[in-house]
Every structure is written in structure tokens, then in C-alpha cells.
Amino acid sequence: MNETLYPISVEVNGVLRTAPVPARLTLVDWLREELRLTGTHVGCEHGICGACSIMLDGEPVRSCLMYAVQADGHRVTTVEGLAQPDGSLSVLQDSFCDLHALQCGYCTPGILIAAQGLLDATAHPTDEQIREAIGGNLCRCTGYQQIVDAVKHAAARLAEDPLSPRGRGTG
């Protein structure tokens, strides 16, 4: 079967990407296989594990539950777009390293997206709010404790630095 290809134009991490894609190609597969942005991961393909989380127009969503065609005209941020404009780690990413909030790294990009979404909206999240924000991201390595600690740590650092309210890139 020759599948029809649909042209899409998506801003990914601040860069406009255009491509013809088959309708059934999911957003996560397009990002990974076509754009080679392999930081976003596939864990279940049915919308539960959250490893595929990206930001769509600034809000965390599951990219395994969208088709790439649906992203036409929209703005996507992946883990690769979280770093500061000069390439250094965002405050959140740096806190993850400081507090060892990851082990195998597979769920980490999705968790960073979800946590960054929380920090973008809430200046002083409680532990409960942090757990709820990452409640749609499953991790088998960490037991979530050091993740919660790292997000809290990042929030505190961001609150201290008025010049960098989000502490991350504009992707």
C-alpha cells in the first residue's frame, strides 16, 4: 500500500521543521525516527507511561497519542529543547544531576517535561503538587523520592533568581 503523505510544518525546539508524513505516523515516532530527536522515548504506545511526554504549545502532552499530522502549525518542545540558549543545562536539569533524580534515564525526558510544566505554572510547588504533576510518568528505577527532591530544589533555585524565572531555553 502506498500511504498518502501529508505535508506538515512544526516548530520543534524553536526551529521550523517541514516534512511529508503518513497519517498514522505518531508524533513521537516522527520526532525520533525522522528528526532523530531520540531524547523522547517510547514506553507503552497507549498513553500510560508518560515516557513520550513533550510540550505542545508549552503544555505537557503524550506524543504517542498524537499523530504527527496533528502537530502541523503547532509548537513542540522536547527534552533537547529544555537547555538554556547557550546550551547549558536548565536549572531543572541541573538539579536532577545534583540530586541524582534518575538512574537508567529512560523515563527522564518525560519527567523533565512534566516537571518543567509544573515549574512554569507554579512557583512554590508542594510535594503533593510535584507528585501529581509527575503522576502520569512511570519510573521503575527511582521510587520517585529523589525526583521530588530535585524538583523542589529547582523550584527553590528559580525562586531565588529573579533574572531567570524559568531558567531554561525558549524551545
Partner 1 sequence: MTIHPHPRPSPIEGEGSSFRYIGKKRRTKEDPRFVMGRGRFVADIALPGMKHVALVASPYPSARILSIRTEAALAVPGVHYVLTGEEFCAATESLAIGVDTPQVTRYALAKDVVRYAGEWVAAVVADTRAIAEDAVELIEVDYEPTPHVIDPEQAVAAGSPLVHPAHGSNILFHRRFVWGPVEQAFARAEHQLALRVRWGRSATVPIETFGVAAQWDPGQQMLDVWASIQMPKYPDQTARALRLPGNAVRVHYDVDVGGSFGVKRGIKHTVLVGYLARRLGMPVRLIEDRLENMRGGDAHGPDRIFDMQVAFDRDGTLRALKIRALDDVGAYAGRAPLQLGKPVSAICGPYRVAAVEYEPTSVMTNKTPQEAVRGFGQSPTNFALERALDHVARHLGMDRIELRRRNLIRKDEFPYRIPSGSSYDSGDYHTVLDKALAAIDYPALVAERDAARRAGRLGGIGISTCLEPSGGNSAFEPLFNPKNDTTTWMEACLVRVDLSGAITGVMNTSSSGQGHESLVSTVIGEVLERDPAGIRVVRADSLSALPSNSPVGSRMAIMLGGAAAGAARKIKEALIEIAAHNLGCTTETIEYQDGNVAVRGHPGQRLTWDELVAIAHRKYHQMPAGLEPGLQAKFVWEVPTGGALPTADGVIQIYPCYAFETHIVYVEIDPQTAKPSLRKYVCGHDCGVMINPDIVHGMTYGGIAHGIGAALYEKFAFSDDGQLESGTFMDYLIPSAMEIPAIAIVDHCTPSPLTTFGQKGSGEAGYLGAPAAVANAINDALAPLGATIETLPITQDALWHVINAAGTDH
Partner 2 sequence: MKAAAFDYVRAGSVAEACELLRQDGDAIKLIAGGQSLVPMMAMRLARPSRLIDINEIAALKFVAPDPDAIRIGACTRQCVLERDDALAVRVPLLRQALAWVGHIQTRNRGTLGGSLAHADPAAELPLAAQVLGARMMLRSTSGMRCVPASDFFAGPLATAIEPHECLEEVHWPVWPERRTGSAFIEVSRRHGDFAIVAAAAQIAVDDDGRCIRASFGLGGGGQTPLAFPGLAAHLLGTRLDATVVQSVAQDAAIELDPGNDLHASAGYRKHLAAVLAARALRAAFDQTKDKQ
Nearest distance from C-beta of residue 4 to partner 2, angstroms: 6
Residue 170 exposed, middle or buried by CB count within 10 Å (0-12, 13-18, 19+): exposed
3-state secondary structure the chain: CCCCEEEEEEEECCEEEEEEEECCCEHHHHHHHHCCCCCCCCCCCCCCCCCCEEEECCEEEEHHHCEHHHHCCCEEECHHHCCCCCCCCCHHHHHHHHCCCCCCCCCHHHHHHHHHHHHHHCCCCCHHHHHHHCCCCCCCCCCCHHHHHHHHHHHHHHHHCCCCCCCCCCC
Among 85, 135, 143, 165, binds partner 2 (CB under 8 A): 135
The span of 67-75, 98-106, 117-125, 154-162 binding partner 1 (CB under 8 A) equals: 98-106
Q: Which is nearer to partner 2, 82 or 94 (CB)?
A: 82
Nearest distance from C-beta of residue 24 to partner 1, angstroms: 6
Binding residues among 22-51 for partner 1 as defined by CB under 8 A: 22, 24-25, 32-33, 36-46, 48-49, 51
Q: Which residues bind partner 1 (CB under 8 A)?
A: 1-2, 22, 24-25, 32-33, 36-46, 48-49, 51, 78-80, 83, 89, 93, 96-100, 102-109, 112, 127, 130-132, 134-148
Q: Which residues bind partner 2 (CB under 8 A)?
A: 1, 3-4, 6, 22-24, 26, 29, 45-47, 50, 53, 56, 59-62, 64-67, 69-70, 72-73, 114, 117, 132-133, 135-136
